[in-house]
Amino acid sequence: MPALTLPFYKLSPGGNPTILIRENSLLASPYGPEDRAAIARALMDPDHLGAEQVGFLDTSRSLPHMEMMGGEFCVNAIRSAALIFARLGLLPEGQTPGCREGSVTTSGAGAPIPVRVSPIPGPCAPETGLPGSMAMEAAIALPLPKDATDSLVTECAHGEVLVRLPGITHLLLDANVHSLPDSPLDAAAAKRAAYGLDAEEAAGVIWHVPGPAKTVAITPVVRVAATGSSVVETACGSGSLAVALLMARSGGSGFILRQPSGHAITVAFAAYAASPGHLLGHMLAWISGPVRLIAEGTANVSW
């Protein structure tokens, strides 16, 4: 049984406890996807560090890279990685004091992802209740087709909508039609099977309830095929984006997604600026919220 001692960070991107492993060698031979999946399963165990997801950092590339445990795409893990990359000085200083901006690469995305990390104003971070130095606002920008509210969103049945994002597909359930069950894991498994989503790298089932002023509360269940994990997540960035795309069909460009943790993730859609290298006919989805660094150190892992 292989055993390693690995440097780790544990973060809370608005909930959604996330472990990031800083070990470049795990993203090269002799280690493969099955090793990373096994390491992730060990780390996520409540008897180990405990988390809802695991990513692997590579700081040796021209652009910092984050590989998810199952090769999937994960918004909150990218936001968490952005905080660590900023902390390591791997992102250039931005125009605003204390802000760092740049691009990173990640599994599940075919192009670099713009990221921005900035201080949370005030002596205390309002979303965390902890000193501002312990938390930062982390945002990522995803290029989407200009017609994303139509091309990525498919209404399947009353109160049931599929949203296909890069690296992950979400089934959105209107909780006013499909009430949140006592066992979300079992209900989500049944819905995934009904829609044939178990073959996806990653798939979510998201119950959503609209609130006032472009606010929606969500309850996400996310399955990652490579690790065989299915989790009722305390926050979900890609699920928040999926629900925001659905809401944008009725108008508006900025939305607040209330997470099960009680924190909020903000999604804002903007036109893609015309500059060299940018894609024509696309828009940007900025996904932002607080990320808190909980712990860092080394972890002993056997798999």
Residue 110, pLDDT score: 87
As given in the structure block, the two tokens for residue 247 are 């809401």
| Distance set, CA 70 to CA 35, 73, 196, 223, 299 (Å) | 10, 9, 19, 10, 20
- Split at pLDDT 50, 70, 90, the class of 204 is very high
3-state secondary structure of 80: helix
User: What are the backbone angles phi and psi of residue 44, rounded to the nearest 5°?
Assistant: -75, -20
Quick one: fold of 3-145+291-302?
Diaminopimelate Epimerase; Chain A, domain 1 (3.10.310)
What is the per-residue pLDDT across 18-42, written as a single tens digit (0 to 9) for each?
999 999 999 998 999 999 999 999 9
- Which residues of the chain form CATH 3.10.310.10? 3-145+291-302, 148-269
Residue 131, pLDDT score: 43
**Predicted TM-score (pTM) of this structure:** 0.90
**CA–CA gap between residue 66 and residue 272 (Å, rounded):** 24
3-state secondary structure of 268: strand
**CA–CA gap between residue 178 and residue 213 (Å, rounded):** 22
Residue 1, pLDDT score: 66
3-state secondary structure labels for all residues of 20-53 = EEECHHHHCCCCCHHHHHHHHHHHHCCCCCCCCE
Which residue spans within 51-110 are E strands per DSSP?
A: 53-58, 65-68, 100-106
| Distance set, CA 96 to CA 24, 159, 303 (Å) | 31, 42, 44
Q: Which residues of 217-234 are buried (b: 16+ CB within 10 A; e: fewer)?
A: bbbbbbbbbbbebbbbbb
Closest by CA to 78, choosing from 257, 265, 281, is 265
Residue 271, pLDDT score: 75
Average pLDDT for the chain: 91
What is the per-residue pLDDT across 215-243, written as a single tens digit (0 to 9) for each?
999 999 999 999 999 999 999 999 999 99
What is the per-residue pLDDT across 59-105, written as a single tens digit (0 to 9) for each?
999 999 999 999 999 999 999 999 999 999 999 999 888 899 999 99
What is the per-residue pLDDT across 104-153, written as a single tens digit (0 to 9) for each?
999 999 899 999 999 987 544 444 444 444 799 999 999 999 899 999 99
- Split at pLDDT 50, 70, 90, the class of 277 is very low
3-state secondary structure labels for all residues of 123-168 = CEECCCCEEHHHEEEEEEEEEEECCHHHHCEEEEECCEEEEEECCE
Residue 124, pLDDT score: 40
Residue 257, pLDDT score: 98
What is the per-residue pLDDT across 163-184, written as a single tens digit (0 to 9) for each?
999 999 999 999 999 999 999 9
What CATH architecture does domain 148-269 belong to? Roll (3.10)
Q: Is the Cβ–Cβ distance between 203 and 176 less than 8 Å? A: no
Residue 88, pLDDT score: 95
